A and B are shown apart, each in its own frame.
Chain A
């Protein structure tokens, strides 16, 4: 997928004025937040689990090479194949080669953010394959030719009316307007695809080294139909998703659904181990796992290691007021919201996503709900620091910081300027505030500037108390 994060500002403004989008976002916001809070409140051990999850992920990352090797051996022992991809291009080639070898015509897909990250659909379609997204949300946006706007609710930006239009255009009339009818229509259309599919591609929420299994978690069952009815099942997953044992996976499962959709558990948790066995009567004949690095191993060495703990629950974006205001598409690549604002610059380049770490108030709500306690605001600030050091920050801002530092480290000068400022602003104010201030239009375009009283606190204090 082409990155368009440089257009963040324009896309954000566009999003704010998109009435349908705002309607859809408004509906989503309260639901996710309230349900998660309820789940967290109902599980007394929730905070303890977050701490354990953080520590366990750190342990895994510190020994990632070992667990990856153990995982590979276990997959192989179960009759599956592990493929390693350094980057998006290698990953696409591996999957394309498998699809071509089995002469795939139809490829069904469960929701996989890694497949979005590596731009898989475009590559398969380019080679003449029919690619069908089967998660309802993914299916909707595929019909709309749009990328997902949320990592667990990809069509969260669409209203029911828009879905009705898309389905009518794709499936023919009569136009359905009830959610139940829309879901039934998708069910009917996609059933046929599952049974026709040559290759089924899913993501992997967890890869279990103990058993060589991949685990997916879904509510719809689409991932299961995808991976069961196709001849070949391919799992795409980041290298950081490995966990040592089923018991470790359990720790994260206890947090995932609660943090993501605010459910105690999602409907289906599926542990897949190898292809169908000799006497099985269904299941895929081949089982492949594509382990994608794509910048992850580099992240492991530096200040952004914490980001590799991410289990892709989406709680950070559900709780982000900026995401809530602009939706996912403004972010311009695969991963939106706070986690995306960290990942996108790291994977696609700091200068390709300048705004993402900056368009954040550092309010910390994301970190307070992250099930693996990723200090997202600190990582975003760290990216700003790197941008500053690499002169990616706008020249104006760097000059302003220099001037500010010069003045603020000279208290007498600073106070003199504060006094001048307080008097000036007080003098131009009317009825307690200032409506227009040319050099601060970013402020006054949106709101009045409350007027100062005229003299500064330090002046007044010294006048009254006569202290040094």
Chain B
């Protein structure tokens, strides 16, 4: 441990040496801690839901809109059959209160290697880039976002904010603080590593389908 402490002190010392000063005094530190940046936010003049849908779909994501949360299981089931997927899904516990069809095998654990479809609840949508914000936790495990080929995400239309900064405010307001993983997802996984040819489904989901509620 002492070697590690030495490296820490040496690096901080070297930084201060380079800046030609010692450690900052408490007043300056307090000033820095109180700093609240207000960077330029790209202007938007579009309806938030419309923008979210337009942007998300521009990257090969798909969306549909349902009237209420109760309509979600039917929408999921319609998506599943349209895609010809097995009657099985890993569903975030955040959605376990919904009435899932009897024919669909549902579990709420982590997604295993052979998982084909997952259904998750998004914490928010960000209209600026048209992205989903997922907060990990027992009700929304991280593996659901990355392991299955098909990822269906439930997003409340009212949870779409304009800019990233508003999404951060949602995170800051959580009583439990930051989740282990905050996944901002902007469409299906993709790669262009072979001759700059875009190919979907590199490692993560091949398809991401958003069910907008409300």
Contacts and interface: CB of A to CB of B under 8 A. Distances in A.
Question: A contacts B directly in the complex (CB < 8 Å)?
Answer: yes
Contacts of B47: none
A187 B171 CA distance: 32
B145 interface: yes
B39 A247 contact: yes
Contact of B141 (A245, A270, A280, A299): A280
B17 A283 contact: no
A65 B186 CA distance: 34
A38 interface: no
Interface in A390-447: none
Among B138, B184, B188, which residue has the most Cβ atoms of chain A within 10 A?
B184
Contacts of B143: 228-229, 282
B16 A65 contact: yes
A183 to B, nearest CB: 5
Contact of A272 (B10, B180, B188, B197): B180
8 contacts: A68-B12, A244-B37, A246-B165, A247-B38, A248-B37, A280-B138, A297-B14, A298-B18
A186 B202 CA distance: 8
A247 B36 CA distance: 9
Contacts of B201: 183-184, 187
Count class of interface residues, chain A = 35 or more
Given A45-B40, A69-B12, A135-B193, 13 more contacts: A49-B40, A52-B40, A56-B37, A56-B39, A64-B15, A66-B24, A158-B194, A219-B189, A221-B189, A247-B164, A271-B184, A281-B109, A291-B11
Contacts of A94: 4
Interface string B21-52: 00110001100110111111111000000000
B7 A163 contact: no
Contacts of A17: none
Contacts of A63: 24, 32
A270 B182 contact: yes
A358 interface: no
Nearest to B59: A267
Nearest to B112: A195
Given A31-B196, A137-B193, A187-B201, A267 B39 contact: no
Contacts of B194: 136, 140, 155, 158, 160, 163, 179, 182-183
Contacts of A275: 180
Interface of A: 24, 27-28, 31, 43-45, 48-49, 52, 56, 62-70, 72, 78, 83-86, 90, 94, 134-137, 140, 153-156, 158-160, 163, 179-180, 182-184, 186-187, 190-192, 195, 211-213, 219-222, 224-225, 228-229, 239, 244-248, 250-251, 253-254, 261, 264-277, 279-283, 291, 293, 297-302
A85 to B, nearest CB: 6
A68 to B, nearest CB: 7
B187 interface: yes
Contacts of B196: 27-28, 31, 153, 156
A135 B190 CA distance: 11
A185 to B, nearest CB: 11
Contact of A187 (B17, B129, B187, B202): B202
Nearest to B41: A45
A361 to B, nearest CB: 25
A187 B203 CA distance: 6
B204 interface: yes
Contacts of A229: 143
Contacts of B179: 273, 277
Interface residues of B, number: 77
Contacts of A239: 11, 15
A261 B192 contact: yes
Contacts of A191: 113, 203
Contact of A211 (B165, B178, B192): B178
Contact of B186 (A62, A251, A268): A268
A155 B109 contact: no
Nearest to B168: A246
Contacts of B192: 153, 219, 261
B185 A283 contact: no
Contacts of B16: 65
B104 interface: no
B19 interface: yes
Contacts of A85: 7
B183 A246 contact: no
Contact of B138 (A187, A224, A270, A279): A279
B147 interface: yes
Contacts of A66: 24, 28-29, 32
Contact of A281 (B110, B168, B197, B204): B110
Interface string B127-143: 00101000011100111
Contacts of A64: 15, 19
A282 B141 contact: yes
A66 B32 CA distance: 8
Contact of A134 (B28, B141, B203): B203
Given A28-B196, A64-B19, A70-B33, A270 B203 contact: no
A45 B43 contact: yes
Given A267-B190, A281-B110, A225 B181 contact: no
A72 B186 CA distance: 30
B203 to A, nearest CB: 4
